[in-house]
Amino acid sequence: MLFALTARDKAGALEVRKANRDAHLAYIKDTGVVAQAGPLLDAAGEMCGSLVILDVDDMDAAQAWAAGDPYKAADLFESVEIIAWKKVIG
């Protein structure tokens, strides 16, 4: 089942994101459940959040993945939303 995780960074947290990006990308690779992912961008083109499409069994698994993300441990996010998602195009 697919889930869309949308996370918004705390204001002024770009350096926190950059400092933890390698660990976040390694987590994505190591867990093997991310179908698509990429940063959200602000008006200046700077990273300000994340969009991650997870392919996991259920919401509990999606929440567990989010809880294990190094960005979570770094307290990067102002907000995180996870919602079931149905791929229609692409």
The pLDDT score that the predictor gives to residue 79 is 98
Which residue has tokens 């991650």?
52
The CA distance from 89 to 42, in Å, is 25
Helix axes 59-68, 14-31, angle to 10 degrees: 130
The CA distance from 51 to 8, in Å, is 9
Going residue by residue through the chain, which has 90 residues, state the pLDDT in tens, using 9 for 90 and above: 999 999 999 999 999 999 999 999 999 999 999 999 999 999 999 999 999 999 999 999 999 999 999 999 999 999 999 999 999 998
For the whole model, what pTM was predicted?
0.94
